[in-house]
Structures are given as C-alpha cells and as structure tokens.
Amino acid sequence: MSSLLDFLPNLPVSQWMTQLIEWLTVNLSFIFDNLKNFGTQLMEGTTALLQYIPPLVFIILIVLIAYWVTDRRFGLAFFSGVGLMYIHNQGLWNNMLNTLTLIIAASIISIVIGIPLGITMAKSSLVEKILQPALDFMQTMPAFVYLIPAVSFFGTGMVPGVFASVIFALPPIVRFTNLGIRQVPEDLVEAADAFGSTGWQKLVKVELPNAKSTIMAGTNQTVLLALSMVVTASMIGAPGLGTDVLTALQRGNVGSGFVSGFALVIMAIIIDRILQSVNKDTNK
C-alpha cells in the first residue's frame, strides 16, 4: 500500500553537494592552493625544528615539564620518560614528531577560531542559536565525511589532514568558552558595570579570568580530539603514527598495529595529564 511519502519527489541532495564542492574547488582554487603551500611549508618547518632537537634532550624537556606542572611529583614525569623512550626504541620517533606537528597545528587553529566564536555566542543569544546546529553537525557527522572536501580543496598530505582535524576538534572549545563566560557570577558582571568598565575591560578582566578553567577544559578536549583524528587523517596522506596504524591494518599486521597504537596512547596520556595539571595550576 502506497503512502503519501511515496509520491514525493526525491531531493537531489547528493547532486547539490557535489555541485557546491565543485564550485568551491574551481572558483576558490587560488585560495586553497596558497593555503596548502603556506601550510605545508609551515608544518614541514615545524617538524624539521622538532627533529633538530636530539631525542634525549626532547625527552628530558618533556620529563621536566611533566615534573614541574604536577607540583614536583614523579609519576607523570616517570611515565613520560619511559613512554617516549619506548617510542624511540620502536623506531617511531620521526612519525611521532609528524603527529605532534599535526596536533599542534590543528589545536592552535581550533583555539584561535574557537575562543572568539565562543565569546560571540556568550554575548549574543541569536548567534548561539545559529551556531549550535552547526556545532552539532560538526560533532555528529562521521569524521570520514570531512575527508571528501579536504581532498577536493587541498589534495593529499598534512594540510587536508589538519583541515579535517580542525572541523572535528573545533566544537568543544567553542562550547566550553560559551559555557564558561555564561557561568561567570552575575554579581561580578554587575560590579564591573557599576565601576564603568567597557565591554572589552569586562571581558578581559572579569569574564575570561573567571572562565579560564572551563576554557582550559575545552582546550584539553580539543587537543585530544585532534589527536584522535591522526589515523583518519592518514587516509589522505597525513604523515605520522596514523600511517603506521593504517599500514598495519591494510597488511593485517597485528603486532605492528599495536606498537603504533601504544605510541598514540602514550602521547594522549602525556598531553592530557600535562594539560589537566596546567588547568589545576590556573585555578590556584
């Protein structure tokens, strides 16, 4: 038995999206090409700078940072040293540095875009209503879908990997910034207004300092989401530990896959614990 829905025409959503991506690729190719060239040079330079640091010196620096931010406790420092030595021992050092470059680039871009967007959302309910569906879309859309426009715009390599990672990692920092500013006590805001503070002074001296803990939590989530995109980004040519995992998957090499997977877990734990410790320090 046919229903009314059976008589409705099929919407050509696939055709519309294809035409949109093709139009953007053709008409904005000069922007995408320049961004790719600039981004490639910048990230290759970052990786080269990291590779210039001797592994032992790099490990010692991370151990000292972990020791310092955890109030001179040895737990994280010891784990960081052992974990990084494991990565070097398995011949994954250069790939780890490529992965670190991708995480740094995606995280910085997400934070630079996300915090102003979060502030704008906190200041305007209309902007919040407009951006909330977009953020929901970015968080719920499968990450693999982001690879399609990334490849169309930038080809393959590190830059499209960063592009896809930014889309996936951006929502938390926007949401947490918005939440943190909205949770600033009303009496503090009213006191700032009573003393004649401008909007900028109120933001910089009252709202952001009181929201920094929440914003740092969003930063932590953003960095970890960027790290979680490493394997996905490797499917479009982004170098790093994700390439090792992908190669192991394609060849059915379980051992090699776990070796690279452990390296990613070690990186995630070190980054997460350091950021959490920094966040605790800012609350003191």
Nearest alpha-carbon partner for 147 in 134, 166, 160: 160
Question: What integer pLDDT is reported at residue 20 of this predicted model?
Answer: 85
> In this structure, is the dihedral angle defined by the CA atoms of residues 197, 200, 201 and 203, taken in order, positive or negative?
positive
Give long-range contacts, CB 8 A cutoff, 24+ apart: 85-91.
85/59, 86/262, 86/263, 86/266, 87/263, 87/266, 87/267, 88/55, 88/59, 90/259, 90/263
Structural domain tally of the chain? Answer: 1
What pLDDT is attached to residue 278? 83
Residue 154: pLDDT above 90? Answer: no
pLDDT at 1 over 60: no
Helix axes 93-123, 74-89, angle to 10 degrees: 130
State percent of the chain over pLDDT 90: 34
Q: Which has the higher per-residue pLDDT, 192 or 264?
A: 264
All residues at 6 or more sequence positions from 225 whose CB lies less than 8 Å from its CB, including other chains: 165, 168, 169, 172
Contact 254, 248 (CB under 8 A): yes
Does residue 237 lie in a domain region? yes
- Answer whether residue 110 is part of any domain: yes
User: What pLDDT was estimated at residue 54?
Assistant: 94
Q: Which tens digits make up the pLDDT trace of 243-258?
A: 888 888 878 888 888 8
List Cβ<8 Å contacts ≥24 apart for 148-153.
Answer: 148/21, 149/21, 149/24, 150/236, 151/236, 152/21, 152/22, 152/24, 152/25, 153/24, 153/25, 153/28, 153/32
Q: Is 239 left (phi over 0), alpha (psi -120 to 50) or beta?
A: beta
Q: Is 11 inside a domain boundary?
A: no
Q: Does residue 134 sit within a domain?
A: yes
Q: Report if residue 73 sits inside a domain.
A: no
Residue at 8 is within a domain: no
Residue 7 inside a domain? The answer is no
pLDDT per residue as tens digits for the range 42-79: 888 999 999 999 999 999 999 999 999 887 788 889 99
CATH number, position 254: 1.10.3720.10
14 part of a folded domain: no
* Whether residue 34 has pLDDT greater than 70: yes
DSSP state of 73: -
Q: Report, as an integer, the average pLDDT of 217-225.
A: 90
Interval 257-264 mean pLDDT: 89
8 band by pLDDT with thresholds 50, 70 and 90: low
Residue 282: per-residue pLDDT? 59
Q: What is the mean pLDDT of residues 210-236?
A: 88
Q: How confident is the model at residue 152 (pLDDT cuts 50, 70, 90)?
A: confident
Q: Which tokens belong to 52?
A: 């210039």
Whole domain around residue 149: which residue ranges?
27-56+90-282
Confidence of residue 284 (pLDDT cuts 50, 70, 90): low
CA distance 81 to 88: 11
Global pTM exceeds 0.85: yes
